């Protein structure tokens, strides 16, 4: 099977000084880390593009330049919803992610029609005028996994891409007219999304979690927490079935943190040593025996 080409573009637009959203950069960093784990599909670092405070033209050029089997675009930043005339006497609710320099890009402009399978997630407000947005916590900065886990998850994820029908889905973290809640650790929507993705585990080893499934769980979680924020699926065209989370056995320790001994381990796959412990012990024994014989020989010759 030819390996499918996959790309992720993370767009961070936290806003100008004085109105900067503290959760945006933690969001995109945690997302990048998550996607590079087996749970998130074992993405390579060079398959993930991070745009921080990009111009409108850079965003459009980056989206248009993608040639892949699967593309995921995740926007974190200020946003607003604007009513515009549709040319037929009616009004259209147009959602605008906000970029630096008072530039705007419409959520529909994040779609690359050349890519057969694409997900767009906009974690931004849909208020008038623009307001706060969401983000992610520090729960997955350091996740331990083996090299075998990494490559197994990558093969599974690639197989899903190769077997998936075409389609486009567009998600928003809020309903029309709602703000998205932000904090210094990230926003409530993406915090809930990553928590549910990390906790995804079923008895069926091949059962994955789609973004739509996780969206429903996130909506329920935000409702239980009394956050007035209701995620919406705005476009679902086609039957794309590329997972957002694989069914890995990783537990979370405590509520949302890994043990302290894991906090400083690299997110890169752990390289296994080729050394055999029995061979190492035998080598040490041979060296010690050789040293003893040499010493005995020297002592004998000295006498």
Q: Which residue ranges make up each domain of the chain?
A: 6-262, 273-303
- Inter-axis angle of helices 188-198 and 24-35, to 10 degrees? 20
pLDDT in tens, 67-77: 999 999 999 98
CA 121-68-2 angle, to 5 degrees, is 130
In terms of Cβ atoms closer than 10 Å to its own Cβ (0-12, 13-18, 19+), residue 120 is buried
Beta carbons within 8 Å of 48's beta carbon, 6+ residues apart = 7, 8, 9, 10, 32, 35, 36
**DSSP structural state of residue 166:** P
Using CA atoms, how far apart are residues 32 and 265, in angstroms rounded to an integer?
16
pLDDT at res. 116: 96
Using CA atoms, how far apart are residues 152 and 175, in angstroms rounded to an integer?
37
Instruction: List the chain pLDDT tens, one digit each, 303 residues.
Output: 688 999 999 999 888 765 678 888 988 988 998 999 888 999 999 999 999 999 999 999 999 999 999 999 999 988 887 766 555 555 556 677 888 877 888 888 999 999 999 999 998 887 765 444 444 444 455 556 677 778 888 888 999 999 999 999 999 888 877 778 777 777 778 888 888 888 777 655 557 889 888 988 888 888 887 677 778 888 888 899 999 998 765 543 333 333 333 332 222 333 333 444 455 456 666 666 666 666 666 555 554
Q: What is the pTM of this model?
A: 0.72
Using CA atoms, how far apart are residues 222 and 258, in angstroms rounded to an integer?
23
Q: What region does 76 belong to: left with phi over 0, alpha with psi -120 to 50, or beta?
A: beta
Polymer length in residues for the chain: 303
pLDDT at res. 272: 34
The CA-based dihedral angle spanning residues 38, 241, 170, 25, taken in that order and rounded to the nearest 10 degrees? 0
CATH classification for the domain delimited by 6-262, as one of 3.10.450.50, 3.40.50.1460, 3.30.930.10, 3.20.20.100: 3.40.50.1460
Beta bridge partners of 233: 171
């Amino acid at each position: 099977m030819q390996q499918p080409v996959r790309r992720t573009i993370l767009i961070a637009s936290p806003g100008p000084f004085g109105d900067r959203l503290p959760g945006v950069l933690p969001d995109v960093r945690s997302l990048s880390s998550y996607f590079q784990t087996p749970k998130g599909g074992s993405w390579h670092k060079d398959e993930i593009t991070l745009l921080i405070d990009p111009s409108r033209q850079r965003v459009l050029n980056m989206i248009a330049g993608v040639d892949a089997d699967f593309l995921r675009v995740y926007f974190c930043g200020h946003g607003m919803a604007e009513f515009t005339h549709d040319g037929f006497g009616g009004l259209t609710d147009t959602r605008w992610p906000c970029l630096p320099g008072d530039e705007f890009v419409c959520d529909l402009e994040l779609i690359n029609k050349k890519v057969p399978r694409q997900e767009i997630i906009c974690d931004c407000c849909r208020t008038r005028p623009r307001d706060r947005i969401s983000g992610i916590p520090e729960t997955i900065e350091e996740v331990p996994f083996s090299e075998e886990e990494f490559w197994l998850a990558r093969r599974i994820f690639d197989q899903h891409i190769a077997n998936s029908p075409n389609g486009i889905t567009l998600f928003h973290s809020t309903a029309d007219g709602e703000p998205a809640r932000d904090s210094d650790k990230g926003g409530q929507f993406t915090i809930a999304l990553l928590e549910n993705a990390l906790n995804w585990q079923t008895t069926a080893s091949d059962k994955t979690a789609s973004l739509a499934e996780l969206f429903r769980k996130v909506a329920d979680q935000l409702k239980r927490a009394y956050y007035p924020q209701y995620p919406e699926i705005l476009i679902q065209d086609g039957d794309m079935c590329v997972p957002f989370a694989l069914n890995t056995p990783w537990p979370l320790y405590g509520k949302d943190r890994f043990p302290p001994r894991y906090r400083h381990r690299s997110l890169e796959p752990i390289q296994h040593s080729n050394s055999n412990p029995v061979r190492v012990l035998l080598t040490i024994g041979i060296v010690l025996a050789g040293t003893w014989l040499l010493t005995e020989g020297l002592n004998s010759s000295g006498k």
